Amino acid sequence: MATYYNTWDGNVIGCLQGANAFAVDIGLGDARTYANLVNYYKRIGHFDTGICGTDIVTRVLFEHGDAELAVSLLDSKHPVSFEGMRQAGATTIWENWPHAVWDRSHDHPMFGSPAAYLFDYLLGITQREGTVAYGDLVIKPCFVKQLTRVSGSRTLPKGEVSVSYVREE
């Protein structure tokens, strides 16, 4: 904290590459740290993170009730995005964002970890805290304005659970 946290504005390393999300995730910083995280990603509109930051930023936003921002980052049309990968010809998840080094793997799970949050938060298929093996299932989907319909399933130890919803006026 003494080296990287700015007491005057509540940022960790200027909030670059998900630094504020890392701090919030482990209980560091103050109320400004999370607010700065939200404002930063609303302003830039895309991830600026690597393997760990992409996961942590997404999860921290969902956990703190900012699902719409998390979804907007996952659905960003910026060149540095999953859509940027697709526009550059990807049919798999790449090891780097499209603007980075091109001689890296184009079939790599590096940025795939946020996919779990589609099940955990958008579909809302989780287990009650303190339980194991989905013995006490919780279905609590997260509704975001960007999506008019969501459907999916998760295979669990006791079988498959499916959730779907359609948002109407």
Q: What is the pLDDT of residue 15?
A: 92
**How far is the C-alpha of 132 from the C-alpha of 109, rounded, in Å?**
26
Rounded to 10 degrees, what is the CA torsion of 49, 62, 145, 114?
Answer: 50
| pLDDT category of residue 19 using cuts at 50, 70 and 90 | very high
pLDDT tens for each residue of 93-134: 887 777 665 566 666 777 888 999 999 999 999 999 999 999
- Contact call for residues 85 and 100 (beta carbons, < 8 A): no
| pLDDT category of residue 84 using cuts at 50, 70 and 90 | confident
Share of the chain above pLDDT 70, in %: 95
Q: What is the pLDDT of residue 55?
A: 95
- Contact call for residues 54 and 47 (beta carbons, < 8 A): yes
Is the model's pTM score more than 0.95? no
Nearest residue to 127 (alpha-carbon basis) of 152, 156, 151: 156
Count of Cβ atoms closer than 10 Å to residue 6 Cβ: 15
**How far is the C-alpha of 118 from the C-alpha of 123, rounded, in Å?**
6
The two structure tokens encoding residue 91:
């049919």
pLDDT tens for each residue of 8-18: 999 999 999 99
User: Tokens 């005057």 sit at which residue?
Assistant: 8
Of 42 and 1, the structure prediction assigns the larger pLDDT to: 42
The answer to whether residue 48 scores a pLDDT higher than 60 is yes
